Amino acid sequence: MPILFAIMSGALFAVWHSFSDALAWRIYTAWYSPRRKEVKDKLKFVFGASSRCEFCEVKVPWYGLIPIAGFFILRRRCAHCSRLLSWRFPLLEACALVYGVAFAQHEPSPLYFTLTLLTYTALWVVIAIDYRMLLIPTEAIFALLVLGLFALLCIRHPHWYRFDNFDFGLDLSVAFLWYFLFHLLRIASGYKMGLADVRLVLALGFLLGHPLTIFLPGVAAAFAIIFYLLRRRSLLIYAPSETEIPFGVFLGAAFLLLNLSR
């Protein structure tokens, strides 16, 4: 039974990643990309449209939507305009599959599993758009804050209103400590860091709780350092700016990793 659950969780996360990535790309296209003015009915575009080729806009056939395998069935090309598809699709779907299998090891409750899927989508919107253009949509931060408060007040500490739980106090303290330290860091860096990154730390702090939140900025910084060391070796690795760091991307990745070590 645990093996079956792990396989199902892995498959679900791979499909869910594919959905989240498409959603992030549509939100980017409708509100932030150079062609945003061409998209008239934005909500219909984001939620109603079926998956299309990023270049020629022709509908992707159903078998092209199968996570990982779809990429190889299509032989890496759009069937209509024959442009090459990016390796990021199967690679990230494979990562999501491994993530789902690893996450299943914690035997999460159905409520916690659902919360994690919703968190994944909001976080992927943050990661994908911050990586493209150094910008974090406020709506995604708001969604993560709501999810974080739900995790804190309804899942981890359902009797929080008694205010007699030391762990609840620690969860709040650690989240707010990083929030204030990130404000200071933002000022000290000459506002090189966005306000959205500061808010993101608070939301992720609520979601993770102590003691994992303590490690969040450190792991994110380690990811950022590794990324820029790799980038120095290969300019093929895309970065949105030479001077500013898309810290939301690294905070998001650090959260996903730490969330596994619960």
Partners of 84 in the beta sheet? Answer: 77
In this complex, which beta carbon is closest to Zn ion, that of residue 80 or of residue 183?
A: 80
Which residue stretch of 51-59, 68-76, 118-126, 221-229 sits at the interface with Zn ion (rule: CB under 5 A)?
A: 51-59
Task: Pick from 12, 30, 74, 78 the residue near Zn ion by CB under 5 A.
Answer: 78
Specify the residue, 80 or 106, whose C-beta has the smaller distance to Zn ion. Answer: 80
Instruction: List the alpha helices (DSSP H) in the chain.
Output: 2-27, 42-48, 69-73, 88-104, 110-133, 138-150, 166-188, 195-208, 212-233, 247-259
Q: Minimum CB separation from Zn ion for residue 53, in Å?
A: 3
Verify binding: residue 76, Zn ion, rule CB under 5 A: no
Q: How many CA atoms lie within 13 A of 115 on its CB side?
A: 22
Type of residue at 189: S
Amino acid identity at 131: Y
What is the token pair recorded at 179? 């929030």
Of residues 92 through 121, those in contact with Zn ion by CB under 5 A are none
Q: Which stretch binds Zn ion (CB under 5 A): 52-60, 118-126, 134-142, 199-207?
A: 52-60
Residue 76: CB atoms within 10 A of its CB come to 15
| 3-state SS assignment for residue 39 | coil
For residue 85, state whether it binds Zn ion (rule: CB under 5 A).
no
Task: Compare residues 71 and 99 and give the one whose CB is closer to Zn ion.
Answer: 71
* Sole binder of Zn ion in the list 36, 41, 44, 55 (CB under 5 A): 55
By the rule CB under 5 A, 84 interacts with Zn ion: no
The residue from 8, 73, 81, 98 that contacts Zn ion (CB under 5 A) is: 81
Closest CA to 248 of 220, 222, 228: 220
Q: Which amino acid is at 97?
A: L
| Contact of 147 with 122, CB cutoff 8 Å | yes
When the beta carbons of 80 and 186 are compared against Zn ion, the nearer one is 80
Minimum distance, C-beta of residue 67 to Zn ion, in the bound complex (Å): 19
Provide, rounded to whole angstroms, the least separation between the CB of residue 80 and Zn ion. 5
- 79 touching Zn ion, by CB under 5 A: no
CB atoms < 10 A from the CB of 109, how many? 10
Q: Which residues here bind Zn ion, judged by CB under 5 A?
A: 53, 55-56, 78, 80-81
